[in-house]
Amino acid sequence: MARSLPLTVNGKSCPLDDVPDSERLLDTIRWRLGLKGTKEGCRSGECGACTVLVDGVSTLSCLTLTHEVEGSALTTIEGVGEEPTGRAVQEAFARAGALQCGYCTPGFVMALAGLLRERGRAAPTEELLDDLGGNLCRCTGYLAIARAVSTLSKEGT
Amino acid sequence: MTASTRPDARSKLEGSAVFGMDLEAPRMLWAALVPSPVAHGRLKTVDLSPARALEGVVAISAVDLARLLPGSTGDPDRPIFPSGTVEYRNQPVAAVAAPTRELARQAARSVRVEVEPLPVAVDLEDVFPEWPGSDADGSPHIAAHVRAREGDIEAVFRSAEKVVRETYRTSSIHQVALEPHACLAEVVDGEWKVRTCTQTPFGTREDIASLLGVPEESVVVEGTWVGGGFGGKGAALLEPYALLLAKATGRPVKLALGYREEFLLGRTTLPSVIRMETAVTAGRIVGRRVRLLLDVGNALPGRDFATGYSIGFLLGPYRTPAFEVEGYAVRTNKPAFGPHRAPFAPQCAFVVESHLDHVAHEVGLDPEVFRRDHLWAPGDTTPFGQAVGPFGLPTAFDRARAVAAHWKQDGGAGTGTGVAVGFWSTGTGAGGEARLLLSPSGITVVQGEREIGSGSVLVGVAAVAARATGLPRDRVTVAYEDTAHAPFDSGVFGSRTTAVLGRAVEEATRTLFEEIRTRLGASGSVQLEVVGDEIVAVAGTARRPVRELLSDAERSVGGIVALGRHYGKAGTIDERKVEVGAFYPYTDFTGAAHAVQVSVDRATGNVRVLRYAAFHDVGTAVDTASAAAQVEGGVVMGLGTALTEEALWSEDGRLLNAGLLDYRIPTLGSVPPIEVTFIEGFAGAGPSGAKGLGEPPIIPVAAAVALAVRDACGAHLTELPLSSERVARALKLL
pLDDT tens figures, B79-91:
999 999 999 999 9
Q: What is the CATH number of domain B432-566?
A: 3.30.365.10
Is the predicted pLDDT of residue B591 greater than 90, yes or no?
yes
The single-letter DSSP state of residue B672 is P
- Model pLDDT for residues B715-732, shown as the tens digit of each residue: 999 999 999 999 999 999
Confidence of residue B29 (pLDDT cuts 50, 70, 90): very high
- Distance between CA atoms of B630 and B231, rounded to whole angstroms? 15
Q: Do A101 and B225 touch (CB under 8 A)?
A: yes
- Terminal CA-CA length for chain A: 49
Show Cβ contacts of residue A126 under 8 Å, excluding neighbours closer than 6 positions: none
Predicted confidence (pLDDT) at residue B278 exceeds the cutoff of 90: yes
Model pLDDT, residue A57: 97
B96 contacts: CB under 8 Å, gap ≥ 6:
B31, B32, B34, B48, B51, B57, B58, B59, B60, B104, B107, B108, B111, B245
Q: How far is A53 from chain B (nearest CA, A)?
A: 14
Q: Is the pLDDT of residue B712 over 80?
A: yes
How many contacts (CB atoms, under 8 Å) link A and B? 167
- Total residue count of chain A as it appears in this document: 157
Question: What are φ and ψ of residue B49, in 5° steps?
Answer: -60, -35
Those residues with Cβ within 8 angstroms of residue B717's Cβ, 6 or more apart along the chain or in another chain:
B354, B706, B709, B710, B726, B727, B730
DSSP-derived 3-state class of residue B168: strand
Nearest-CA distance B264 → chain A (Å): 13
Based on the fold, state whether residues A89 and A73 are members of the same structural domain.
Answer: no
pLDDT over 90 at B300, yes or no: no
A2 confidence band (pLDDT: 50, 70, 90): low
Q: What is the mean pLDDT of chain B?
A: 96
- Shared domain check, A58 and A98: no
Angstrom CA distances, B48 to B68, B89, B94, stand at 16, 19, 8
Residue A124 lies in a domain: yes
Q: Taking 90 as the threshold, does the pLDDT of residue B584 lie above it?
A: no
Residue A108 in domain: yes
pTM of the predicted model as reported, rounded to 2 decimal places:
0.97
Partner residue facing A78 (CB), from B15, B176, B636? B15
Q: Do B14 and A78 touch (CB under 8 A)?
A: yes
pLDDT above 60 (res B1): no
User: pLDDT per residue over B691-711, tens digit each?
Assistant: 999 999 999 999 999 999 999
* CA-to-CA separations, A117 to A8, A63, A78, B410, in angstroms, rounded: 18, 22, 17, 40
Q: What pLDDT sits at residue B728? A: 97
CATH number of B272-427+574-730: 3.30.365.10
Q: Give me the residue from A105, A139, A144 closest to B13, CB to CB.
A: A105
Choose the closest CB to A105 out of B12, B632, B659.
B12
Does one domain contain both A50 and A101? no
pLDDT (average), residues B35-55: 98
Residues of chain A with C-beta less than 8 angstroms from the C-beta of B6? 94, 97, 99
Query: pLDDT-derived band of residue B421, with 50, 70 and 90 as boundaries?
Result: very high
Domain of A94, CATH number, reads 1.10.150.120
B 626-655 residues with CB < 8 A to A: 626, 629, 632-637
Residues A96 and A125 in one domain: yes
- Check if A2 contacts B (Cβ < 8 Å): no
- Name the residue facing B1 among A91, A130, A136 (closest C-beta): A91
Tell me the residues of chain B between 419 and 458 that have a Cβ less than 8 Å away from chain A.
Answer: 452-455
What pLDDT is recorded for position B379? 93
Environment class of residue A22 by beta-carbon count within 10 Å: exposed (0-12), middle (13-18) or buried (19+)?
Answer: exposed
Please state the rounded mean pLDDT for residues B393-410: 97
B178 and A41: CB-CB below 8 Å?
yes
Would you tell me the crossing angle of helices A143-152 and A105-119 to the nearest 10 degrees?
30
Whether the bond into B696 is cis, omega within 30 of 0: no
| pLDDT tens digit sequence for A5-27 | 999 999 999 999 999 999 999 99
Task: Give the pLDDT of residue B390.
Answer: 97
Is residue A157 pLDDT above 80, yes or no?
no
Buried b / exposed e over B586-617, threshold 16 CB at 10 Å, is: bbbbbbbbbbbbbbbbeeebebebbbbbbbbb
Q: What mean pLDDT is predicted for residues B58-73?
A: 95
In tens, the pLDDT along B674-696 reads 999 999 999 999 999 999 999 99
What is the domain range of residue A35?
3-79
Report A:100-119 residues touching B (Cβ under 8 A): 100-106, 109
pLDDT at B4: 59
Do A66 and A10 lie in one domain? The reply is: yes
Question: Is there a contact between A136 and B2 if contact means CB atoms under 8 Å apart?
Answer: no
| Residue B633 to residue A141, Cβ atoms within 8 A | yes
Mean pLDDT, residues B136-164: 95
Domain boundaries of chain B, sorted by first residue: 9-119+184-265, 272-427+574-730, 432-566
Cβ–Cβ contact B659 with A under 8 A: yes
Residues A58 and A13 in one domain: yes
List of chain B residues whose C-beta atoms are within 8 Å of the C-beta of residue A77: 13-15
The residue from A61, A79, A97 where one domain ends is A79
Provide the pairing of β-strand B442-447 with B432-439: antiparallel
pLDDT value at position A155?
84
Residue where one domain finishes, among candidates A44, A62, A79: A79
Q: What is the CATH number of the domain that holds A18?
A: 3.10.20.30
CB contact under 8 A, B15 and A130: no
> Which CATH architecture is the domain B9-119+184-265 placed in?
Alpha-Beta Complex (3.90)
Q: Are residues A40 and A97 in the same domain?
A: no
DSSP lists the bridge partners of residue B325 as B148, B290
Q: What is the DSSP letter of A154?
A: T
pLDDT at B549: 97
**Chain B residues touching A109 at Cβ < 8 A:** 13
Number of CB atoms found within 10 A of residue B532's CB? 8
CA distance B568 to chain A (A): 27
Does residue A22 sit within a domain? yes
Query: For residue B613, which phi and psi values (nearest 5 degrees)?
Result: -135, 135
> What are the two backbone dihedrals, phi and then psi, of residue B162, each rounded to the nearest 5 degrees?
-145, 135
* Helix (H), strand (E) at residue B242: helix B239-249
A84 in the same domain as A64: no
Shortest CA gap A75–chain B (Å) = 12
pLDDT at B394: 98
Residue B478 contacts residue B232 (beta carbons within 8 Å)? no
Q: Classify residue A123: in a domain, yes or no.
A: yes
pLDDT for B2: 40
CB atoms within 10 A of CB B304: 26
A45 in any annotated domain: yes
Mean pLDDT of A115-138: 94
Of A47, A79, A111, the domain-final residue: A79
Say how far apart CA B365 and CA B371 lie, in whole Å.
10
Taking an 8 Å cut-off on Cβ atoms, the answer to whether A97 and B259 are in contact is: no
**pLDDT for res A4:** 81
Specify the pLDDT at position A1. Answer: 55
Say how many domains are in chain A.
2
Least confident of A77-86, A107-116, B196-205, B299-308: B299-308
| Same fold yes or no, B9-119+184-265 and B272-427+574-730 | no
Contact B327, B309 (CB under 8 A): no
* A66 and A15 inside one domain: yes
- The verdict on A54 and A106 lying in the same domain is no
* Residues A85 and A145 both lie in one domain: yes
A157 domain-assigned: no
Question: How are beta strands A3-5 and A16-19 bridged, if at all?
Answer: antiparallel
